Amino acid sequence: MLVVTESAETVAKETIPTLHFPQEDVLSTPEERKLRRFDADRACALGNNEHGKLDIYFKTADGSAKRVQTTVWGVHESYLTLKAGITLPIHAIIGFDFY
């Protein structure tokens, strides 16, 4: 999975509810989507077991790459629940950086 790190703007998790996300999945292949789901589950385990933070890279509707540093509390069918109950659509996620 390609993660764009240099050009991603860092945003606070509190701004995520104000953002607009693309309608289509940002990943093009089933293999990339499967890896993203695996990484999402791994991120949730890290958040729940160790309260660990990670970087999540995602795209907004205008095509710009963003990064948020946060804890993942839940993985659902179509979105992640982040710390403070904020949700992020899975189809907008480019990838994860577990440091």
Question: Do 44 and 55 touch, CB atoms closer than 8 A?
Answer: no
For the residues 40-64, what does the mean pLDDT come to?
A: 92
Q: What is the pLDDT of residue 51?
A: 82
Q: Is the pLDDT of residue 4 over 80?
A: no
Nearest residue to 1 (alpha-carbon basis) of 64, 94, 80, 67: 94
- Of the listed ranges 1-5, 8-12, 48-52, the least confidently predicted one is 1-5
pLDDT tens-place string over residues 53-92: 899 999 999 999 999 999 999 999 999 999 889 999 999 9
In the predicted structure, residue 14 carries a pLDDT above the cut 90? yes
Question: Is the Cβ–Cβ distance between 15 and 71 less than 8 Å?
Answer: no
Sign, CA dihedral 51-54-60-66, equals positive
